Amino acid sequence: EAAVTQSPRSKVAVTGGKVTLSCHQTNNHDYMYWYRQDTGHGLRLIHYSYVADSTEKGDIPDGYKASRPSQENFSLILELASLSQTAVYFCASSPTISGNTLYFGEGSRLIVV
């Protein structure tokens, strides 16, 4: 069974609206990440967290907030969705030790209209 689950799997949002993408992991991993995937850009890190109640900015954090209320849950929040945020978003978890495997969720396809 999937150890990293994302919801919703697909969403159409209106420009200026609020979007929350949720991620739940049962891997007992400390690290969680949000990446976005766009054609030609690969996977880019938005936010990550290594402990509950703390989040860190990744490489492209502008326009996004993150929340880690527990070890298992990590949310990505778009307060004012914009057209440029149309993308596929992947959540991932990883054990603590540097250089370990990222376990990705199934992805959330977001279309902003």
Partner 1 sequence: GEQVEQLPSILRVQEGSSASINCSYEDSASNYFPWYKQEPGENPKLIIDIRSNMERKQIQELIVLLDKKAKRFSLHITDTQPGDSAMYFCAASEAGGNNKLTFGQGTVLSVIP
For partner 1, the binding residues (CB under 8 A) are 31, 33, 35, 40-45, 48, 50, 56, 58-59, 90, 94-102, 104-107
In the complex, minimum distance from the CB of residue 64 to partner 1, in angstroms, rounded to a whole number? 16
Tokens representing residue 35 in the block:
């990446």
In the complex, minimum distance from the CB of residue 14 to partner 1, in angstroms, rounded to a whole number? 25
In the complex, minimum distance from the CB of residue 55 to partner 1, in angstroms, rounded to a whole number? 12
In the complex, minimum distance from the CB of residue 7 to partner 1, in angstroms, rounded to a whole number? 14
- For Cα atoms 103, 74, 21, give the angle at the middle one, nearest 5 degrees: 95
Do 46 and 35 meet the contact criterion of CB atoms below 8 Å apart? yes
Tokens representing residue 16 in the block:
């200026």
Nearer to partner 1, 15 or 91 (CB): 91
Question: Which helix (H) or strand (E) is 66 found in, with range?
Answer: strand 65-67
Nearer to partner 1, 17 or 59 (CB): 59
Nearer to partner 1, 18 or 41 (CB): 41
Nearer to partner 1, 39 or 70 (CB): 39
Mapping DSSP onto H, E and C, the string for 12-54 reads EECCCCCEEEEEEECCCCCEEEEEEEECCCEEEEEEEEEECCE
